[in-house]
Amino acid sequence: MMSDILPNAPTYGHATLPSCSNPGSFINAPSLSYFFHTKNLKEIQEQGVIPFHRSLKMPGITIGDTVPNLEVEIKYGNSHFCVLNFTLHDYFKNSWTIIFFHPADFTPVCTTELGKMAAYLPEFEKRGVKVLGFSCDDVQSHEEWIKDPRCKVTYPIVADPNRKIIKQLNMVDPDKKDSSGNQLPSRALHIVGPDNKIKLSFLYPACTGRNINEVVRALDSLQKSSKYKVATPANWKPGDPMVICPSVTNEEAEKMFPQGFETQKLPSGKDYLRFTCVN
């Protein structure tokens, strides 16, 4: 039993033992079953207990993290070339924001994504969402690059030629480098909430372009869920019914959703799968 190991979860060298209240927060590298059955602390230390969140967490900033308030330099506008400096939180200004990273300017996948984000900008603006791109090239490169997509690019792109920002955000791709051997950022996209925290993260390999339709769908889900106590089921799309959160009782649901809700009959006999429509 976990209580037989140690109740106060001390640290031995570089190996930290889990507390009884959260036994799943750490995993024994060679064997999970070994970890939960052994009573020998020295053996646990020697086998190398590693934190679950450090061993399996998605690279870089991810869901729940506050985006650091870094000062950045951007290329802004298309017909009029402007270079501006500001902090990320100043740009967010308590609104929803999409931040996305490109491995490099003048590359095929990145250029198609740059244009698609520009084409969808009216959809994001209707939802009160800002867009901010990141690339490891300088602002002069951005000035030329934004001419290549078919859609006019008007959202700002952060310049990071010294790779300082991608390192501070821990967004360095561990496997990809440019022709000069310089590190490249991961092909990541994050949706940032009004509290400056990451609400959703996408991480793609360099060979796979992002699906902007899915970004819009996920954004709609997040905004609905932040306003109502609902969640979106599998394959949900705007206009489809949503599910009521399990924490909401039927009595509370009747008040929260005066338009009504439908409880799906299940073989288990439980009434947790409740659908409703919200605007």
Residues of the chain with CATH 3.30.1020.10: 228-276
What's CA 46's distance to the chain center, in Å? Answer: 35
Residue type at 105 in one-letter notation: D
Q: What is the pLDDT of residues 163-202, one digit of tens each?
A: 888 888 878 888 888 888 888 888 899 999 999 999 999 9
Residue 256: predicted pLDDT: 96
Burial of 6 (C-beta count, 10 Å sphere; 0-12/13-18/19+): middle
Report if pTM > 0.85.
no
Residue 117: predicted pLDDT: 97
Q: Whose CA is closest to 253, among 266, 232, 271, 234?
A: 271
Task: Give 249-273 as a DSSP string.
Answer: -HHHHHHH-TT--EEPP-TT-----
Residue 54: predicted pLDDT: 38
Catalytic residues: 110
Please state, rounded to an integer, the average pLDDT across all residues of the chain: 80
- Among all chains, which residue has been given the structure tokens 């740009």? 91
CA pair distance 216, 195, nearest whole angstrom = 20
Q: What is the mean pLDDT of each run of 10 residues along the chain (279 residues)?
A: 38 35 38 40 44 45 92 67 81 96 92 96 97 91 92 92 85 81 86 97 88 97 97 96 97 96 96 95
Architecture of domain 71-213: 3-Layer(aba) Sandwich (3.40)
* Backbone angle region of 93, left / alpha / beta, with phi > 0 → left and psi within -120 to 50 → alpha: left
Residue 59: predicted pLDDT: 53
Residues of the chain with CATH 3.40.30.10: 71-213
Determine whether domain 228-276 maps to CATH 3.30.930.10: no
